[in-house]
């Protein structure tokens, strides 16, 4: 990639201020296939100042002008769509069907939804003699993760652009190449110089400098709760807005009236999608105690149907996890589950026998998991499902809500009203009833230690706006 060793600042591809480089590893082979430049505090300063200089002019553009710009971004994105998808196969390890259908596709869906949102969104309205004016928050820092990289980039960049903000993007240094391609998309679309800037780098240097920078008005971060706490701490002295989408440990309640075969199978598949590397994955399956034995056998069959293999091969449903560090962390959690007495239904420690190389994790299911076990409480971020039992609906709700997280929850029932009643009791930002289709117009974000604020559609747009009341406007 021509620009792998450069940053995009003030409308140009520029050389970094420092000399540090980082290899980009293919998780399927454990081999480096590219490298990127790593940013410094000086690079952050250059990018932030470019965004600050560009802000007054871009903030004064009309919503219609910004919508036209987003339309061009969508057109340029679609022109590079297959290229972006193939890069994600290589650097994330996502199976090619998933990468072409969803990893890249979700960027298209977010852009289309935001264009629809702009058709009806009111940046100005009057209430009596007061004008309510929605204005861009300013210069924003966008810090995004590696697991669904284009999703998190687009659902931050697009609404920030639509709001009239200028920005500095720091993508994950583990899967950075798709972000460099996206920067090329922004350039090709004619985004004005300084409005969009990109720096590669790590959290302790670039992420910290952006979070603490006095000229950054807002930080939007997606990642671990641990990193989110540090970003909030660094941002606090400047009282900037901090928007966070963090970890999860989502419960999936199967009520006693479900079609157990389909409900369990879909739950396993949803948990294992993207090799379990989704913050809102249904990683805790709660089943009625009387149905546990049947549920466990169905789950075992569902796991066995998955094909773990190279992401570029036809038929692969589970690719590798992202890195050696992630592989080791998942192995530690599996070992803890075994040590704490959970029943291993399938999978377990080590790679699949036919894959001696690559960061491949066996799809693993534990049963007889109690609420106090580590694997029931901590985010594993891999293809690991825990099955727990409950005696009645009230207990299921208590168990589901007994978590420091609150990103998502799932409810399955053949009685829609029954499922709705449960959904209203969930302490989570998103509740999915009967495995619905994904909705780009639904708000996304968490309760508790899963973060604050919401993304997608008008909620994502509002996150990047300040509200001004001009009293006496109509007097």
Can you give the residue ranges of every domain in the chain? 7-246+450-470, 251-441
| Cα–Cα nearest to 157, from 464, 465, 466, 429 | 464
Domain 7-246+450-470 grouped into CATH 3.30.420.40: no
Residue 415: the pLDDT is 98
| Cα–Cα nearest to 422, from 407, 435, 408, 411 | 411
Q: What is the DSSP letter of 338?
A: H
Beta bridge partners of 343: 367
Q: What percent of the chain has pLDDT over 90?
A: 99
Q: Where are the beta strands (DSSP E) in 329-435?
A: 343-346, 364-367, 384-390, 405-406, 408-412, 430-433
Structure tokens at 469: 């009341």
Give yes or no: 76 in active site. Answer: no
Q: What percent of the chain has pLDDT over 70?
A: 100
Q: Under a CB-based contact definition with an 8 Å cutoff, are residues 342 and 366 in contact?
A: yes
Q: What is the largest CA-CA distance in the chain?
A: 77
Give yes or no: 165 in active site. Answer: no
Positive or negative: CA dihedral 136, 142, 148, 154: positive
* Torsion of the alpha carbons at 196, 200, 205 and 211, rounded to the nearest 10: 30
**Segment (H or E) for 469:** strand 465-470
Q: What is the mean pLDDT of residues 248-257?
A: 98
Q: What is the DSSP letter of 318?
A: B
Q: What is the mean pLDDT of residues 326-336?
A: 98
Please tell me which residue in 155, 279, 346, 455 is annotated as part of the active site.
Answer: 279
| Cα–Cα nearest to 380, from 357, 361, 354, 393 | 361
* Class of residue 380 by CB neighbours under 10 A (exposed 0-12, middle 13-18, buried 19+): buried
Positive or negative: CA dihedral 195, 197, 203, 207: negative
| Cα–Cα nearest to 218, from 256, 151, 166, 293 | 166
Which of the four pLDDT bands, split at 50, 70 and 90, describes residue 475? confident
For 173, 207, 224, the CA distances from 234, given in Å and listed in that order, are: 20, 10, 16
| Cα–Cα nearest to 413, from 423, 403, 399 | 423
Q: What is the mean pLDDT of residues 36-45?
A: 98
How would you list the strands of the sheet with 124-127, edge to edge? 124-127, 130-136, 465-470
Structure tokens at 438: 């994904």
Q: Where are the beta strands (DSSP E) in 301-419?
A: 343-346, 364-367, 384-390, 405-406, 408-412
Q: How many residues does the chain have?
A: 475
- Does residue 1 surpass a pLDDT of 90? no
Buried b (16+ CB within 10 A) or exposed e, 327-366: bebbbebbeebeeeebeebbbbeebbeebeebbbbbbbbb
Matching residue, tokens 């939804």? 113
**Chain centroid to CA 75: how far?**
23
Q: What is the mean pLDDT of residues 231-256?
A: 98
Q: What is the pLDDT of residues 129-152, one digit of tens each?
A: 999 999 999 999 999 999 999 999
- Does residue 265 surpass a pLDDT of 80? yes
Please tell me which residue in 91, 173, 184, 245 is annotated as part of the active site.
Answer: 245
Alpha carbon distance 132, 65 (integer Å):
21
CA distance between the termini of the chain: 59
Q: What is the pLDDT of residues 147-193, one digit of tens each?
A: 999 999 999 999 999 999 999 999 999 999 999 999 999 999 999 99
Which of the four pLDDT bands, split at 50, 70 and 90, describes residue 2? confident
Q: Under a CB-based contact definition with an 8 Å cutoff, are residues 7 and 43 in contact?
A: yes
Domain 251-441 grouped into CATH 3.40.309.10: yes
| Cα–Cα nearest to 445, from 221, 277, 227, 135 | 221
Positive or negative: CA dihedral 149, 324, 91, 17: positive
Matching residue, tokens 């560009």? 54
The secondary structure of 155-224 as a DSSP string is HHHHHHHHHT-EEEEE--SSS-HHHHHHHHHHHHTTPPTTTEEE----IIIIIHHHHH-TT--EEEEES-
Alpha carbon distance 309, 328 (integer Å):
18
Q: What is the mean pLDDT of residues 382-392?
A: 98
| Mean of per-residue pLDDT scores for the chain | 98
Q: What is the pLDDT of residues 295-317, one digit of tens each?
A: 999 999 999 999 999 999 999 99
């Amino acid at each position: 990639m021509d620009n792998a060793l450069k940053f995009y600042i003030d409308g140009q591809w520029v050389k970094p201020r420092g000399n540090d480089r980082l290899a980009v590893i293919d998780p399927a082979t454990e081999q480096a296939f590219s490298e990127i430049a790593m940013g410094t505090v000086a690079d952050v300063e250059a990018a932030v100042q470019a965004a600050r200089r560009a802000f007054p002019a871009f903030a004064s553009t009309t919503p219609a002008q910004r919508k036209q710009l987003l339309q061009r971004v969508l057109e340029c994105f679609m022109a590079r769509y297959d290229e972006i998808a193939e890069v994600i196969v290589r650097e994330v390890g996502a199976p090619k069907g998933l990468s072409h259908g969803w990893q890249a596709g979700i960027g298209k869906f977010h852009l289309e939804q935001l264009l629809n949102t702009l058709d009806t969104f009111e940046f100005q309205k009057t209430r009596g003699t007061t004008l309510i004016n929605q204005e861009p928050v300013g210069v924003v820092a966008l810090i995004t993760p590696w697991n669904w990289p284009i999703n998190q980039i687009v659902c931050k960049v697009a609404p920030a652009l639509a709001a009239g903000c200028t920005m500095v993007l720091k993508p994950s240094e583990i899967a950075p190449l798709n972000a460099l391609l996206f920067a090329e998309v922004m350039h090709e679309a004619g985004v004005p110089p300084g409005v969009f800037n990109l720096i590669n780098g790590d959290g302790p240097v670039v992420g910290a400098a952006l979070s603490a920078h006095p000229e950054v008005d807002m930080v939007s971060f997606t990642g671990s709760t641990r990193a989110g706490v540090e970003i909030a701490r660094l941002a606090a002295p400047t009282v900037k807005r901090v928007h966070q989408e963090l970890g999860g440990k989502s419960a999936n309640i199967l009520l006693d009236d479900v079609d157990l075969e389909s409900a369990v199978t879909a739950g396993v598949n949803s948990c294992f999608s993207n090799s379990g590397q989704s913050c809102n994955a249904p990683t805790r399956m709660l089943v009625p105690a009387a149905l546990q034995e049947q549920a466990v056998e169905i789950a075992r069959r569902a796991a066995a149907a998955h094909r773990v293999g190279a992401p570029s091969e036809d038929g692969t449903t589970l690719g590798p996890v992202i890195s050696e560090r992630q592989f080791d962390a998942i192995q530690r959690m599996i070992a803890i589950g075994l040590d704490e007495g959970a029943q291993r239904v399938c999978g377990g420690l080590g790679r699949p026998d036919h894959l001696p190389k690559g960061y491949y994790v066996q799809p693993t299911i534990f049963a007889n998991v109690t609420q106090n076990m580590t694997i029931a409480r901590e985010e594993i971020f891999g293809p690991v499902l825990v099955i727990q039992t409950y005696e009645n609906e009230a207990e299921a709700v208590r168990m589901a809500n007994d978590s420091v997280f609150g990103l998502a929850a799932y409810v399955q029932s053949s009685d829609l009203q029954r499922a709705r009643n449960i959904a209203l009791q969930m302490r989570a930002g998103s509740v999915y009833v009967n495995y619905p289709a994904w909705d780009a117009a639904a708000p996304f974000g968490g309760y508790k230690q899963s973060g604050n604020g919401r993304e997608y559609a008008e909620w994502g747009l509002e996150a990047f706006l300040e509200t001004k009341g001009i009293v006496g406007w109509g007097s």
